[in-house]
Structure 1
Amino acid sequence: MLPILMLGGAVFLVLAMLIAAFSGPSTARAGSRRLNTLRDRHAGVVGPAAVETQIRRASASQSGMDTAALRLLPNPAELQKRLAMTGKPWTVGQYGLVTLGLIMVPTLLLLLKGAPIWLALFLSLALGMGLPHFVVSFFIKRRVGKFTAKFPDAIELLVRGLRSGLPITETMTVVGSEVSGPVGEEFRAVSDKMKIGRTLDVALQETADRLGTPEFQFFTITIAIQRETGGNLAETLANLAEVLRKRSQMKLKIKAMSSESKASALIVGSLPFIVFGLVWFINNDYMMNFFKDERLMVAGAGGLVWMSLGAFIMAKMVNFEI
């Protein structure tokens, strides 16, 4: 029983360390910390308009599957926010259904293959809870990347509109209609919120909280400060666009310089698990000794711990915060 507990604890430690290592520094969180003081002083948040409340109540109906998922899944509010950040029409109910399927199907397959029940449950839970999370993270990262790439162009379009004499609200409407992709979608959302009674500061701050990118936080704070202190907004936004372009170039340079080390870490870290899985499906009886022989259990747990330490160190060496 003790070797089994040791193996389970080692696997849990490996997963925890890998998640902590490869997640890297949270740029959005760091930017939020740096901007919190400034945002609190200049946000000027007001309560939502009555018409917005009525629209929200009218569209707040949920399906039975969504209601069940909201009750069973942990932290449903954060999950809804993450699903909205993907830009896909995914619901919490669909997310919960996929998670349940990814837990049940691999469990049955592993039990039919002869795996111990505790191993089948552990691997299925890791797959069912991890794979949807990483898929959502992938789509969020891709959408945020597209947004960040085109955001300086949108700011320059704002600058040209301001210099031509248009007010900031009208210029944002023009940007939402002229720019494609996530940037246009977000600016159209800001424009729609202002049409139903929200102020510009509140609409921008809600979008910034949903996107979670430092670039849009800088934009929101810039406009909020200018509305209170005055000044040349067009010139300020032009400087901001230049800073964001240089920031993006620095990110790409660091990504290119660290890509070889990241690829090496992924290949070296995943190869033993791939070989183990292939040999297990080719010769099941041979690999089952790892779950029966106590000496092999201890050796496998030790190998997992050392591999996780190596992956953790390599990941931290190539993670940079800008």
Structure 2
Amino acid sequence: MDQMTLMFVVGGATLLVSLALVFALAGDDGHGRDMKRRLAEISEGQKPSNPTKARHSARRKQDTSGFKILDNIIRALIPKPEQLKIRLEKTGYKITISRYATFTGILILLIIGAGHYLYGLPMFLAIPTGLAAGLFLPHVTIGFLGKRRINKFMKTFPEAIELLCRGLRAGLPISEAIVTVGNDAPDPVGKEFRGVANAMRIGQSLEQGLWDVARRIDIPDFKFLIIAISIQRETGGNLAETLGGLANTLRKRRQIKLKIKAMSSEARASAWIIGSLPFIMFFLLWLANDSYVLTLINDPRGMYMIGAGLTMISFGVGVMAKMVRFEI
């Protein structure tokens, strides 16, 4: 039972520090929130209302598993299905809410069964452990896949805008230029622009197709492109010059981000080393002399010391992570 307690302490400590590091790296500062708020205020006047809502409602009706009982359970357990659907769409895979919920439920049952039957955990510990791990792992995986796809999109997005500008300077209309980008640009940029071209072929407007993409590519840079195209179609102007300036700005922002990442690499490495060093030493000491280490766990005073140490490590890792993160 001592080894089981040790496993819980080390696993819980690792999870706590990892969560602190993830939330610190994923945090947003005031400048980023203000920029997103101002961009949302501007884009509200550009978004189409009724046709898009009708299409989205039709898509929601089709997002079912085919089993009415299962769909009712999913709708009852998921508080915000629309936000979850957007997160799933950001991955680029055809993952429906019903499939995600089914996989999560199966994973929870597997973890509970493994904890109870393989590791001998009592049910009052296996059930909360299975719920926490079964809900956390799919959520983190979906977030990782979505972030990876957005980063891949941003790598070739400035070149796609340049290709769009060359088509406009050659005399092509914006709709034909978008078709050219969809055919020539690499995925996922080409895939998203091909989706816009296909939507226009069935009667959807250009702005509606672009805003549908913005739901999956939720970044301010893409919304700037939509707003620039919408304003040019309403008021006129040199769209090629405007998009060329946008592409140049995006390319310079990416260069600055890479430079900051290189300059802060030492601090980030220090954060990882300092955060993981106590757990590495604990494991090595346990291999060398387990009775010496287990004294810290068996003694109630040692548990308080472990809790205080984990708290300080979490705060330290979070502060260092925030120090090396900049909003460009």
CA distance 1:54–1:82, shift in 2 (3 Å): closer
Aligned mates of 1:51, 1:121 — CA distance in 2: 41
Aligned mates of 2:325, 2:174 — CA distance in 1: 38
Q: 1:21 aligns with which of 19, 24, 30?
A: 24
User: Does residue 199 in structure 1 map to residue 205 in structure 2?
Assistant: yes
Aligned mates of 2:101, 2:50 — CA distance in 1: 33
Deviates more, 1:282-291 or 1:231-240: 282-291
SS in 2 for 1:269: helix
1:174 matched residue in structure 2 = 180
Please tell me the root mean square deviation across aligned C-alpha atoms, in Å.
3.6
CA distance 1:106–1:267, shift in 2 (3 Å): farther
CA distance 1:29–1:116, shift in 2 (3 Å): farther
Superimposed CA distance per residue, residues 182-218 of structure 1 (whole angstroms, 9 cap, x where no aligned partner) = 1011111112222233222222122223211121011
1:85 matched residue in structure 2 = 90
Question: How far off is 1:286 after superposition?
Answer: 8.1
Q: List runs of 5+ in structure 2 lacking aligned partners.
A: 1-8
User: Does residue 38 in structure 1 map to residue 24 in structure 2?
Assistant: no
SS in 2 for 1:181: coil
Aligned mates of 1:261, 1:85 — CA distance in 2: 31
Question: How far off is 1:122 after superposition?
Answer: 4.8
User: Does residue 221 in structure 1 map to residue 224 in structure 2?
Assistant: no
2:269 matched residue in structure 1 = 263
Question: How far off is 1:219 after superposition?
Answer: 0.6
Q: TM-score with structure 1 length normalisation?
A: 0.81
Instruction: Indicate if the aligned counterparts of 1:85 and 1:140 stay in contact, CA closer than 8 A.
Output: yes
1:103 matched residue in structure 2 = 108
Q: 1:34 is matched by which residue type in structure 2?
A: R
CA distance 1:178–1:70, shift in 2 (3 Å): farther
Instruction: Indicate if the aligned counterparts of 1:146 and 1:182 stay in contact, CA closer than 8 A.
Output: yes
The 4+ residue runs of structure 1 with deviation greater than 6 A are 10-16, 277-291
Aligned mates of 2:56, 2:109 — CA distance in 1: 40
Superimposed CA distance per residue, residues 114-133 of structure 1 (whole angstroms, 9 cap, x where no aligned partner) = 55766555544442222222
Aligned mates of 2:277, 2:70 — CA distance in 1: 39
Instruction: Indicate if the aligned counterparts of 1:104 and 1:124 stay in contact, CA closer than 8 A.
Output: yes
Instruction: Indicate if the aligned counterparts of 2:63 and 2:96 stay in contact, CA closer than 8 A.
Output: no
Instruction: Indicate if the aligned counterparts of 1:52 and 1:197 stay in contact, CA closer than 8 A.
Output: no
1:296 matched residue in structure 2 = 302
After TM superposition, the structure 1 = structure 2 runs for residues 47-58 of structure 1, keeping only pairs within 5 Å, are 47-48=50-51, 52=55, 56=59
User: Does residue 248 in structure 1 map to residue 260 in structure 2?
Assistant: no
Instruction: Indicate if the aligned counterparts of 1:49 and 1:197 stay in contact, CA closer than 8 A.
Output: no
Aligned mates of 1:171, 1:139 — CA distance in 2: 29
SS in 1 for 2:28: coil
SS in 1 for 2:308: helix
Q: 1:88 is matched by which residue type in structure 2?
A: Y
Superimposed CA distance per residue, residues 52-105 of structure 1 (whole angstroms, 9 cap, x where no aligned partner) = 589748844433397243432342221111111011122323323333344344
Instruction: Indicate if the aligned counterparts of 1:176 and 1:187 stay in contact, CA closer than 8 A.
Output: yes
CA distance 1:86–1:53, shift in 2 (3 Å): closer
Question: How far off is 1:28 after superposition?
Answer: 7.2
Instruction: Indicate if the aligned counterparts of 1:28 and 1:213 stay in contact, CA closer than 8 A.
Output: no
Superimposed CA distance per residue, residues 1-36 of structure 1 (whole angstroms, 9 cap, x where no aligned partner) = xxxxxx9xx979867644431213279755421312
Aligned mates of 1:273, 1:128 — CA distance in 2: 24
Aligned mates of 2:289, 2:96 — CA distance in 1: 41
Identity %: 44
Deviates more, 1:237-246 or 1:109-118: 109-118
CA distance 1:318–1:275, shift in 2 (3 Å): same
Number of residue equivalences: 314
Aligned mates of 1:265, 1:118 — CA distance in 2: 35
CA distance 1:280–1:217, shift in 2 (3 Å): farther
